[in-house]
Amino acid sequence: MQQAGLADDDDEEIWVKEEDDEEEEDGYYMDPRSPAVWTPGGRAGGTSNRRRAREEKERTKMRERQRRAITGRILAGLRQHGNYRLRARADINEVIAALAREAGWVVLPDGTTFPSSSSFAAVAAQPPRPVMVAAASPSATPLALPASSALPLRGIAPVAARPISHRPAPAFALLLPPRAAAASRSPADDVPDGNSSHLLAVPVPVPMDPAAAEDVPVAKQLQVPDVSPRPPERDFAGTPYVPVYVMLPLRVLKASGVDGVMVDCWWGNVEAHKPQEYNWTGYRRLFQMIRELKLKLQVVMSFHECGGNVGDDISIPLPHWVIEIGRSNPDIYFTDRAGRRNTECLSWGVDKERVLQGRTAVEVYFDFMRSFRVEFDEYFEDGIISEIEIGLGACGELRYPSYPAKHGWKYPGIGEFQCYDRYLQKSLRKAAEARGHTIWARGPDNAGHYNSEPNLTGFFCDGGDYDSYYGRFFLSWYSQALVDHADRVLMLARLAFEGTNIAVKVSGVHWWYKTASHAAELTAGFYNPCNRDGYAPIAAVLKKYDAALNFTCVELRTMDQHEVYPEAFADPEGLVWQVLNAAWDAGIQVASENALPCYDRDGFNKILENAKPLNDPDGRHLLGFTYLRLGKDLFERPNFFEFERFIKRMHGGNIS
């Protein structure tokens, strides 16, 4: 092992392993000058051949040391000036991978590299123009290549090219004209010395004759121009105002410029002990505090339990009197194939069943919402309450509880169907009889378990039973039960909150999105395989009641998911693009939330791109954004600075 110091950073070092370039095989030696001549043991070639071999070996080692020295300087520069997370002993493969990811490409652990859907979206959104490849040789002339065309929108594994984000075209090996580059930049993107960088280029090495390379200085063999630490950012000054809400606690958030707060009104707290006995005292005190701060309120009608999901740090069960009913009649809960009950929320099978002390589930929900509307009438009249979000399932989202951690599910498992309580089974039998195939009155018996992969099941694999006559029947019934539940509850919500904005939260099940079956979406109730749009029926029922669609995971980037969980075939960007367009095509408003904690600029920029699509011909943008997963990390100085900066850009303000 030989240790070589880095010229630009004495604190960093790279370990170099000298490799012997002699080729030996079964006692035979290959003459490097005459590769077609093999001599036993390397002796018959004579002394001159051995001397030439040693000289060639020394020259090879010298070239290798020069290349590694260049790699070391590149690593030091990227770590120091470009915020690249490269380890001190990184090799050239890691450098290339980091640059490719920065340019919007996806690099899998085995080295497989392909363009992300976001990079193709940017290319497709721009008019055709030449792309310049910067050559490494000082005397080379840039080579003009035709611009790439967009890929089909409904592709499946291994690449799904659905244009969703509006990132700039990949910076890897691209040259932008100074005028165009300047137009796409803001003052904040200037390089540290104060000079604007108009060349967004990474040199592409040109093969050089090994003998000639010895006479060329190291600095000329590979020249790296100055590049800005970050890719150009859009200037959101003057763009539409998108309000930003936060989940409690308030703390210092008022000063950051947020528009309001989101508050869960828990069914298990308010109607805890007896039917139709509501205790709103705590909420009244809280709402008064929010009014004094002159903030708006988004209120969630939370008909599910709190605890056991991402971000839950407290436990709020369903009302005690409902739990007592569940002890004697556990079929009021969603149930999996093994008979395990999920007590997070009530099964949609009891929506019209009088099992809750003489009331149906939808009647219980309506009475709760009507009580809230009467109790806080003044907040509606004064406009303090700006929106009511209607909880329709697990986590307050319109979905089946198909991936519960309490039953052992771990990401990226496909989940399980939740239709085995006797009420939903009765509905399935009725649908099968109406179709004339009573044998179809059953759930799939080859759909795997919570942590299965699609290709390892007979139902979800490519060409599996999900696309058979029975599979299409079952999935249509399963997803229609979800839509019917939304229809029933929203009809009563519109009566209770007449004249008030209402919304429904839809979860972003983005894993296995790049497979044909979209298995995780199917078990959650979204009938959205690669040959069907499963979100259009949901958008249609929301349109019927003038309800907005609140969607999650708008901060997630596909290439990040591939880096962490390449086996999940996730595509959050493709999913967001599909759902937002399904809603906008139906003529309904769209709001969004983050799915995971978000403190960095990259995540905030992804939210901005989705909130205000670039060059949208209709000028469409999000109705609002709610920041979830608020924790103490947000209030660390650099994180809170990024949060304030994000809010200003969401409001269309100038950050310079």
**Which residues are documented as binding site for substrate?**
264, 304, 312, 505, 510, 552, 594-595, 629
- The one catalytic residue in 344, 389, 397, 416 is 397
Residues 369 and 276: beta-carbon distance below 8 Å: no
- The one catalytic residue in 344, 387, 593, 642 is 593
- 624-627/244-247 β-pairing: parallel
Residue 393: CB atoms within 10 A of its CB come to 28
Residue 283: CB atoms within 10 A of its CB come to 19
Cα–Cα nearest to 42, from 58, 56, 30: 30
Residues 577 and 160: beta-carbon distance below 8 Å: no
Q: Which helix (H) or strand (E) holds 593?
A: strand 590-593
Residues 407 and 334: beta-carbon distance below 8 Å: no
Does residue 593 have an active-site annotation? yes
Residues 474 and 435: beta-carbon distance below 8 Å: no
Q: How many Å apart are CA 187 and CA 61, to the nearest integer? A: 45
| The dihedral sign for the CA sequence 450, 451, 455, 456 | negative
Q: How many Å apart are CA 265 and CA 608, to the nearest integer? A: 29
Q: How many Å apart are CA 325 and CA 333, to the nearest integer? A: 11
Q: Please report, in range form, the residues annotated as the binding site.
A: 264, 304, 312, 505, 510, 552, 594-595, 629
117-125 vs 572-586: helix crossing angle, rounded to 10? 50
Cα–Cα nearest to 467, from 515, 524, 419, 510: 515
Whole-Å CA distances, 34 to 57, 202, 436: 15, 37, 79
Does residue 397 have an active-site annotation? yes
3-class secondary structure, 647: helix
Q: How many Å apart are CA 171 and CA 87, to the nearest integer? A: 23
Catalogue the active-site residues: 397, 593
